[in-house]
Structures are given as structure tokens and as C-alpha cells.
């Protein structure tokens, strides 16, 4: 089992913890950003992290692993491979997270949802709703990083590999905005190396 220090070292060694002024998917602002793809680009590291999900949920009777696009696709695939079960993903269609591409979860199917980094849990909640709308039974959620530091309640068993207490701000209360620090939306432009 990986320790918190080992997982933190993965992010640090890959240069995944960035400093600046970032617009998060949640709409909140932050002075720090975890660029998960700097870790997930390494198959050996990704497999080790997904092995943690597989081990933590090995006795939960999971039948399919689901991840929200984009980072959740990689995590769902590798976790499903390690568990020897199917993996699928949700993606946005007309602004709503949905199962597409012929993916289906039969009623009563025991599902593990995996996600990369959460702040408010919006995408994970939408993924859970998409699965539950088909009658699937979400029995657990695996998070690579929980930026809420354990405050997030998704209504099901949740296992976070790493908890981080990284402050976030509404735009109107953001100290970086007040100091006119350039706002960067990760994924939309080149981030520092």
C-alpha cells in the first residue's frame, strides 16, 4: 500500500504542483494547481495509484468502474484492468454528464466511480447521477486527490489517495485577482515546466 508521503512524492517529483493564479473547473480560483497529467503520463505511476483503488475496493463486489472524462478515463481503465472488470466513462453531452458511445450500466450493477482531483465534487456527483439514472448502484468513489481535505461528502464510501488543503476563492474574494496576477485556465494554455 502506498503511503501519503509516497503519493505526495510522485506529484512533487513529476512537477505536478504548480504555483500561480488558476481558474479551476469548479469556477473557483486558486494559487496552487495540481496538474495530474504530469503524473498520469507515466504508466508505472498510474498503475500503482490505480492498484490502490483496486485494493481498497477489492471486497466491495465491484462489477464496473466508471470515470468522468478526461482524467477519470485513464484511472477507470487501469483500475478496471487491475480488477479484471469492465471500465467505461461519462462525458458531457449538451452540458450534462452522460453515458455515451453505447456504454450501459444495467440496473443493480455495482459500480466504483474513480476521479482524479476534486475540489467541490461537481463532476463526480454528475457521474454518480448518470450511473444511478440507469439503475446502477454506486457503492464507492475513489479519488486520486481530494482538495477539500476530507470535507467532501458524496453520500457513498469514498477513498482518497491524497488529501490536500489547498485554499480556493470566489472571484470576488480572490487575493490574486486583487493583486492583478494573471489568471490561467489549466488545459487552455501552456503551463510552466
* pLDDT of res. 39: 96
Alpha helices in the chain (DSSP H): 4-13, 37-40, 43-56, 71-83, 122-132, 175-178
**Does residue 46 lie within any of the structural domains?**
yes
Answer whether 0.85 is exceeded by the pTM: yes
**Does residue 192 lie within any of the structural domains?**
no
Buried b (16+ CB within 10 A) or exposed e, 96-113: ebbbeeebebeeebbbbb
**Does residue 193 lie within any of the structural domains?**
no
Query: Which residue is listed with cell 480560483?
Result: 29
**Does residue 189 lie within any of the structural domains?**
no
Computed over every residue of the chain, the mean pLDDT equals 93
Cα angle, residue 127 at apex, residues 138 and 111 outer, rounded to 5°: 25
Say if strands 29-34 and 96-99 run parallel, antiparallel, or are unpaired. Answer: unpaired
User: For the packed helices 71-83 and 43-56, what is the interaxial angle rounded to 10 degrees?
Assistant: 60
Q: Name every residue whose Cβ is closer than 8 Å to that of residue 118 and which is 6 or more positions away in sequence.
A: 124, 143, 145, 146, 147, 148, 152
**Does residue 119 lie within any of the structural domains?**
yes
**Does residue 190 lie within any of the structural domains?**
no
**Does residue 68 lie within any of the structural domains?**
yes
Check whether 193 has a pLDDT greater than 60.
no
List, for residues 89-137, the tens digit of each pLDDT value: 999 999 899 999 999 999 999 999 999 999 889 999 999 999 999 999 9
* pLDDT of res. 166: 86
Check whether 190 has a pLDDT greater than 80.
no
* pLDDT of res. 191: 53
Query: Which residue is listed with cell 489547498?
Result: 166
pLDDT band, residue 164 (cuts 50/70/90): confident
CATH of the domain at 33: 3.40.50.2020
Read off the pLDDT of each residue in 40-44 and give the average, rounded to a whole number. 96
Number of domains in the chain: 1
Domain limits for position 63: 4-178
Amino acid at each position: 500500500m502506498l503511503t501519503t508521503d509516497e503519493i505526495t512524492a510522485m506529484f512533487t517529483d513529476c512537477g505536478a504542483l504548480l504555483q500561480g493564479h488558476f481558474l479551476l473547473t469548479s469556477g473557483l480560483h486558486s494559487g496552487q494547481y495540481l496538474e495530474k497529467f504530469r503524473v498520469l503520463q507515466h504508466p508505472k505511476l498510474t498503475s500503482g495509484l490505480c492498484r490502490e483503488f483496486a485494493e481498497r475496493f477489492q471486497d466491495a463486489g465491484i462489477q464496473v468502474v466508471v470515470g468522468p472524462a478526461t482524467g477519470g478515463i485513464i484511472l477507470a481503465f487501469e483500475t478496471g484492468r487491475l480488477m479484471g472488470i469492465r471500465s467505461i466513462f461519462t462525458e458531457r453531452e449538451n452540458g450534462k454528464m452522460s453515458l455515451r458511445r453505447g456504454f450501459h450500466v444495467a440496473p443493480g450493477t455495482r459500480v466504483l466511480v474513480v476521479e482524479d482531483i476534486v475540489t467541490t465534487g461537481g463532476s463526480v456527483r454528475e457521474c454518480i447521477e448518470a450511473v444511478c439514472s440507469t439503475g446502477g448502484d454506486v457503492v464507492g468513489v475513489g479519488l486520486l486527490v481530494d482538495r477539500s481535505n476530507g470535507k467532501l461528502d458524496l453520500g457513498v464510501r469514498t477513498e482518497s489517495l491524497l488529501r490536500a488543503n489547498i485554499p480556493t476563492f470566489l472571484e470576488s474574494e480572490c487575493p490574486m485577482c486583487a493583486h492583478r496576477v494573471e489568471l490561467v485556465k489549466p488545459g487552455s494554455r501552456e503551463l510552466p515546466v
